[in-house]
Amino acid sequence: MLRKLSINNYALIDRLETGFGPGLTVITGETGSGKSIMLGALSLLLGGRADTKAIRRSDRKSVIEAVFDSPDPHLKGIVEKAGPEWNDEELIVRRELSPSGRSRAFVNDSPVTLLVLQELMPRLIDIHSQHQNLQLSDPRHQLRIIDAMAENSDLRDEYKSLFHKYVKLRQQIETLRSEMAKNRENREFMLFQLQQLDKLKPLRGELEEIERQFDIFSDAGEIKEQLASASALIGGSERSAVAQIAEARAAIGRIDLSLFENDTEAPGIQQRLESLYVELKDIAATVEDFASGIEDDPVRLAKISKRMDDLYEAQKRFNVADNDALVSLHEELKRSLGQDGGSDGTLKGLEAELRDIAGELKTKAARLSATRVKAAEEFSEMLTATAMPLGLPNLKFSAMVSKGKLHSYGMDSVAFLCRFNKNQDLMPLEKAASGGEMSRLMLSLKEILSTRLKQPTVIFDEIDTGVSGEIADRMGRMMHSMGESTQVMAITHLPQVASKGDSHFKVFKTDNEDSTVTRLTRLSPPEREHEIAKMLSGDRIDDAALENARSLLATATNPNN
């Protein structure tokens, strides 16, 4: 339960620190005294949006802290997963707002994210407001209520986990199908490319050879003429280089060169001339071979030119850098298109798995539905019986469970239907109930769920709005009864409700030298009598009002007195 609440530098609150006990705590005060400010501060602890305008003084931070006694051990996992150490004795939650706009959250003095507060705090405090009255008409909230009654959280978590697996697998299948469709389109294009390259039959190194041949055959006449001239000069005439070297070699042979050559290790002139003669003859033969291999053939030149153009055009069309890349593309296309379509087998396997999961989902959804139908019947009877004494004698309430398509919480939708008069048909709750009727239904609902949800602290913000007299008295008794198992706090303007509290606090404003501040004080028995008398008669408190206040307090928990 909430043992202590501290609020510093927040809105009209300069410094507030108070302790709370078990049972029903009532909080009263004039309109505008600051009761909503306390709820606003608590909403920050629940992870609500921070607003720097709420900081009272801009030279220091705003701090809201709550201390809870003997926290539920089920919360240990949430706390330790977030980082803070767990303490079986108490749980401290703090939120700090700096004037710069920075917000920080802490659990047991260790920093945590707001997501942690949003997960943790609703399990510690349930703040009922007019917004929750509207929430009661939300089908999703209605489903959560029936699930709380059914106590099916384990089965629901199993189903939800399996449903997420189902959705993920279905998305995977859709992605694979899309890829396969795209691949089919690509395959057709690849086949078209392969057919073109099969017809072209490019070879590695081919283009370089064709370019060389083109250069030769495109200028064959000139090249052949120059080669013939070179051949004649080297060895094809009487005065060629070969003939003249032969004459020189013969002339040298008639001389005794030993007279001139002292270095016996170096080749002699005769030997060098012989080598030169052999080399020139070889050159002459090679040049003649070159010349004999050249033909002035326009047909062959045309074929070479066309092949070269075809290869150039293919490089551009297939967007490759060179001829070798064109050959590599050809090889890759043959390899890719030759592979088996393994995607078909994968898809069939995934589809079979999806069918299995869908069958399991339907089974779990049916089990969930059965728990909800039973809980809805029980809840309808309990809510009707609980709310009828609150001035709703003709109430007929029915929680209807309808089956439909599978969704993340099963296959059910829930609708709360009710009537408040005998001559009415059952209608959706939001259309049938007035504000006061909705408040009484909500109080009855909270009493039923307080033990099921295991929430240690429930705060009612003027849930008694729109009622008075005997009905207000009964609502007060209901809240007091809830306080026997749950810590209940009720902000109220009604003396009948205020008199039922096990403890009573008053919120009021006071002025100091330069500002107005909100205060909260626990009332002593005499102060409490005075406050309830004031709620009964207004500012003029006489003996009759005080006597009425004492009577209310005396009979607060005993309806037979």
Among 140-144, 373-377, 465-469, name the most confident range: 373-377
Q: How do strand 410-419 and strand 427-428 relate by DSSP bridges?
A: antiparallel
Q: Given its phi and psi angles, is residue 488 left (phi above 0), alpha (psi -120 to 50 degrees) or beta?
A: beta
Least confident of 38-42, 402-406, 436-440, 554-558: 554-558
What does the alpha-carbon distance between residue 160 and residue 168 come to, in Å, rounded to a whole number? 12
Q: Higher confidence at residue 178 or residue 495?
A: 495
Question: Three-state SS for 67?
Answer: strand
What does the alpha-carbon distance between residue 517 and residue 7 come to, in Å, rounded to a whole number? 12
Among 153-162, 324-333, 417-426, name the most confident range: 153-162
Report angle CA 106, 144, 3 to the nearest 5 degrees.
35
Q: What is the arithmetic mean of pLDDT over 205-233?
A: 82
| Per-residue pLDDT tens digits for 508-524 | 999 877 888 899 999 99
What does the alpha-carbon distance between residue 28 and residue 8 come to, in Å, rounded to a whole number? 21
pLDDT of residue 76: 93
pLDDT of residue 50: 85
pLDDT of 338 > 80? The answer is no
| Per-residue pLDDT tens digits for 27-75 | 999 888 888 888 889 999 999 888 888 898 888 999 999 999 999 898 9
| Per-residue pLDDT tens digits for 280-336 | 888 888 888 887 777 777 888 888 889 989 999 999 999 999 999 999 989 888 887
pLDDT of residue 261: 65
pLDDT of residue 272: 85
pLDDT of 264 > 80? The answer is no
Closest to 136 measured CA to CA, from 325, 456, 350, 417? 417
What does the alpha-carbon distance between residue 520 and residue 5 come to, in Å, rounded to a whole number? 11
Kind and range of the H or E run holding 118: helix 114-120
Kind and range of the H or E run holding 427: strand 427-428
pTM (two decimals) = 0.66
pLDDT of residue 265: 55
pLDDT class for 560, splitting at 50, 70, 90? low
Q: Which domains does the chain have, with CATH numbers?
A: 1-124+455-561 (3.40.50.300), 183-338 (no CATH)
What does the alpha-carbon distance between residue 405 and residue 295 come to, in Å, rounded to a whole number? 84
What does the alpha-carbon distance between residue 55 and residue 40 come to, in Å, rounded to a whole number? 12
Among 125-134, 258-267, 402-411, name the most confident range: 402-411
Least confident of 47-61, 161-175, 249-263: 249-263
